[in-house]
């Protein structure tokens, strides 16, 4: 049975100040997968993600998400398109002047006409999904690092996006909190039927949750495939990534 492609990137080329970061990147992500983009610092992982999110001007090459070429979207289509994407930022990106409940409610208040009581109900439901019901009235400054990540995740999924982007979601977490976050992302993917694209350096996370690995090396895709095959790859840079990240135990 043919799998449905949610993301297709073809021959994406990106240069900054005459330095070519991406030299013709191509890969695809299937519906329901948790896919991880790997690579050394400066390899272009986040650059790929930011082009998908429309944060950079369209570069040579094509990016298609949900069958739509991003370059073909007009302003009105673009607004509706990006409402289908959830984004889980590295630093949480919550507003310190608002409570957790108010932070999570923001997308619903800005993009829907739902009454306040229904919005509150939806926010509380999402907080329950991420095991954070008690934080509704707390401010971000009152949360631990792990709680802050879960609050940010609740906001990222408040609009029930079919596609979730995660930018270094585990950065700064201790091993126990990181494992808990990984298990939560896995559970949400299964419960909500999302596709997840993640950029991360955390090898332990990759081993726990990745279905697919896309390895960026020297501006090209050096590997695209299943996690198991990535772990056993003969590509030196990819093999070294897993070896170092697991202390030589893979």
**pLDDT for 205-240, tens place per residue?**
999 999 999 999 888 999 999 999 998 888 888 888
- 3-class DSSP string for 90-138: CCCCCCCCCCHHHHHHHHHHHHCCCCHHHHHHHHHHHHHHCCCHHHCCC
| Rounded-to-integer distance, Cα 65 and Cα 76, Å | 16
In tens, the pLDDT along 158-175 reads 999 999 999 888 888 888
Give the integer Cα–Cα distance in Å for 40 and 154: 29
Average pLDDT score over the chain: 89
Contacts 24+ apart (CB under 8 A), 104-109: 104/151, 104/154, 104/155, 104/158, 105/158, 106/155, 107/155, 107/158, 107/159, 108/158, 108/159
Across the range 130-149, mean pLDDT stands at 92
CATH class, 1-84+163-250 region: alpha beta
Rg (CA), the chain: 18
Task: State pTM to two decimals.
Answer: 0.90
pLDDT of residue 166: 92
Check residue 121 and give its pLDDT: 96
Block residue for tokens 């100040």: 17
Residue that is written with structure tokens 């930018």 in the block = 167
Residue ranges of domains in the chain: 1-84+163-250, 93-160
| pLDDT at position 158 | 94
Cα–Cα distance, 181 to 192 (Å, whole number): 16
Average pLDDT over residues 124-132: 93
Q: Give the tens place of pLDDT for each residue, 79-108.
A: 888 889 999 887 767 899 999 999 999 999
pLDDT for res 246: 55
| Res. 39 pLDDT band, cuts 50 70 90 | confident
| Overall average pLDDT of the 12-23 stretch | 87
């Amino acid at each position: 049975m043919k799998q449905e492609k949610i993301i297709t990137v073809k021959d994406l080329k990106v240069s900054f100040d005459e330095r070519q970061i991406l030299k013709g990147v191509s890969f695809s992500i299937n519906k329901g997968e948790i896919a991880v983009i790997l690579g050394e610092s400066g390899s272009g992982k986040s650059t790929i993600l930011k082009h998908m999110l429309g944060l950079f001007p369209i570069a040579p090459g094509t990016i298609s998400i949900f069958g739509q070429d991003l370059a073909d979207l007009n302003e009105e289509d673009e607004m509706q398109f990006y409402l289908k994407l959830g984004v889980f930022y590295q630093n949480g990106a919550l507003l310190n002047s608002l409570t957790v409940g108010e932070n999570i409610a923001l997308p619903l208040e800005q993009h829907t006409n739902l009454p306040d009581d229904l919005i509150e109900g939806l926010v509380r439901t999402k907080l329950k999904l991420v095991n954070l019901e008690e934080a509704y009235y707390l401010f971000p400054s009152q949360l631990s690092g792990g709680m802050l990540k879960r609050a940010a995740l609740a906001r990222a999924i408040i609009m029930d996006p079919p596609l979730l982007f995660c930018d270094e979601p585990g950065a700064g977490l201790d091993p126990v909190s990181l494992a808990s976050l990984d298990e939560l992302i896995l559970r949400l993917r299964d419960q909500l039927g999302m596709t997840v694209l993640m950029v991360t350096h955390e090898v332990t996370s990759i081993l726990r949750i990745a279905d697919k690995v896309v390895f960026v090396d020297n501006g090209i895709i050096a590997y695209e495939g299943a996690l198991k095959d990535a772990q056993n790859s003969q590509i030196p840079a990819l093999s070294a990534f897993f070896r170092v990240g697991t202390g030589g135990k893979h």
